[in-house]
């Protein structure tokens, strides 16, 4: 059997932290932030847990897929900001969605979390082990942000995205390319009980070099070209990173939906939130080809070619 996405959901908190408000907290201004990152505002979860955002997104994905929570046999949560060391976030999602028949585990792969989780779902489904997998990515980046560090506090936001992947005769999740370079891990870290520490320029250079290479490998494995792809859904870290990758691959802007301006970088949740947005806007047609790309701390990165089947 093959794996295909049958539903999506997302949740972003109500509170909007604007560049204007940030400029009262650190020495910065709207123009600097927008020019360097493309971010105008981000959402902040003022109260509640990471799992609350996750459950909200998960219920919407189940609804969009038109299935009951009891039908789910595996929940994979991707988060770097779990509420508890244990139980894992996926078990809390199980409890609060009533997915009583699911096995639950979490993936920690920072901003590549959604791609890693989706690739795990694909592998389990293709191995015949599970049939309906709920993937939920939820992050409270505001909880590990140093609000006195202007080079990082402008970048991140909170939110959750989810999708349901089902065993199908159609090959929805076509090819996957995953990588890791732990040797370079120190360029983006958050130690337990400490905040994010980042060498922004090194992260930038890594992303614009490695992601295009990975996309070309994923395309080749799926027997597709850059032109065959209808939508490129990049990790929403920074509009300049995305623009540089697009330029290197000669991909037109119209094929690159963005929400970094409104959401900032929501780490593992970012591609999942974006996927739900474009799905709900009705932008995706059956048979459309999507390229998903995640990259971040680890260093981790991965890309995935999808054929939309809903």
List residues binding ligand COA (CB under 6 A). 28, 32-33, 36-37, 111, 150-151, 154-155, 198, 200-201, 203-204, 237-238, 241, 265, 296
Shortest Cβ 259–ligand COA spacing (Å): 15
111 is a catalytic site residue? yes
Instruction: Using the minimum distance from each CB to ligand COA, give the nearer residue, 161 or 172.
Output: 161
Shortest Cβ 248–ligand COA spacing (Å): 16
Of 89, 111, 137, 263, catalytic: 111
Residue 170: how many CB atoms within 10 A of its CB? 14
Shortest Cβ 28–ligand COA spacing (Å): 3
Distance set, CA 110 to CA 50, 82, 223, 276, 294 (Å): 14, 12, 29, 19, 9
Q: Which residues contact 248 (CB under 8 A, 6 or more apart)?
A: 208, 212
CB–CB of 149/195 below 8 Å?
yes
Distance set, CA 135 to CA 4, 107, 146, 204, 292 (Å): 12, 10, 29, 28, 15
Cβ-closest position to ligand COA: 200
Q: Which residues pair with 190 in a beta bridge?
A: 196
265 is a catalytic site residue? yes
Q: How far is the C-alpha of 22 from the C-alpha of 156, rounded, in Å? A: 12
Rounded to 5 degrees, φ, ψ at 298 are: 150, -60
Q: Which of 276, 246, 282, 244 has the alpha carbon at shortest distance from 263? A: 276
Rg (CA), the chain: 18
Instruction: Using the minimum distance from each CB to ligand COA, give the nearer residue, 11 or 301.
Output: 301
Instruction: Using the minimum distance from each CB to ligand COA, give the nearer residue, 28 or 168.
Output: 28
Instruction: Using the minimum distance from each CB to ligand COA, give the nearer residue, 62 or 237.
Output: 237
Q: Which residues of 117-128 are buried (b: 16+ CB within 10 A; e: fewer)?
A: bbbbbbebbeee
Shortest Cβ 210–ligand COA spacing (Å): 12
Shortest Cβ 150–ligand COA spacing (Å): 4
Instruction: Using the minimum distance from each CB to ligand COA, give the nearer residue, 126 or 149.
Output: 149
Q: Which residues are catalytic?
A: 111, 235, 265
């Amino acid at each position: 059997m093959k794996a295909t996405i049958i539903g999506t959901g997302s949740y972003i908190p109500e509170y909007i932290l604007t560049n204007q408000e940030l400029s009262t907290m650190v020495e910065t201004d709207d123009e600097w932030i927008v020019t360097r990152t493309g971010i105008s505002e981000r959402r902040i979860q003022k109260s509640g847990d990471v799992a609350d955002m996750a459950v909200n997104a998960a219920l919407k994905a189940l609804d969009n897929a038109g299935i009951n929570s009891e039908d789910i046999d595996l929940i994979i949560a991707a988060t770097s900001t779990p509420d508890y060391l244990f139980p894992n976030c996926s078990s809390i999602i199980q409890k609060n969605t009533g997915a009583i028949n699911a096995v639950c585990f979490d993936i920690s792969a920072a901003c590549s979390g959604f791609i890693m989780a989706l690739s795990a779902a694909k592998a389990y489904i293709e191995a015949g082990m599970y049939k309906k997998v709920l993937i939920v990515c939820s992050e409270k980046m505001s909880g590990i942000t140093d609000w006195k560090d202007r080079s990082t506090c402008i970048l991140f936001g909170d939110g959750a995205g989810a999708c349901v992947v089902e065993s199908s005769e159609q090959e929805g999740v076509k090819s996957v390319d995953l990588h890791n370079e732990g040797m370079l891990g120190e360029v983006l870290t958050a130690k337990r009980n400490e905040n994010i520490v980042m060498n922004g320029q090194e992260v930038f250079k890594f992303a614009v070099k490695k992601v295009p290479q990975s996309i070309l490998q994923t395309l080749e494995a799926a027997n597709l070209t850059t032109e065959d792809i209808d939508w490129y859904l990049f990790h929403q870290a920074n509009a300049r990173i995305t623009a540089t990758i697009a330029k290197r691959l000669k991909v037109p802007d119209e094929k690159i939906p963005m929400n970094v301006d409104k959401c900032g970088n929501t780490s593992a949740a970012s591609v999942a939130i974006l996927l739900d947005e474009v799905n709900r806007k009705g932008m995706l047609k059956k048979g459309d080809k999507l390229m998903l790309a995640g990259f971040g701390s680890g260093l981790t990165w991965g890309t995935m070619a999808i054929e939309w089947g809903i």
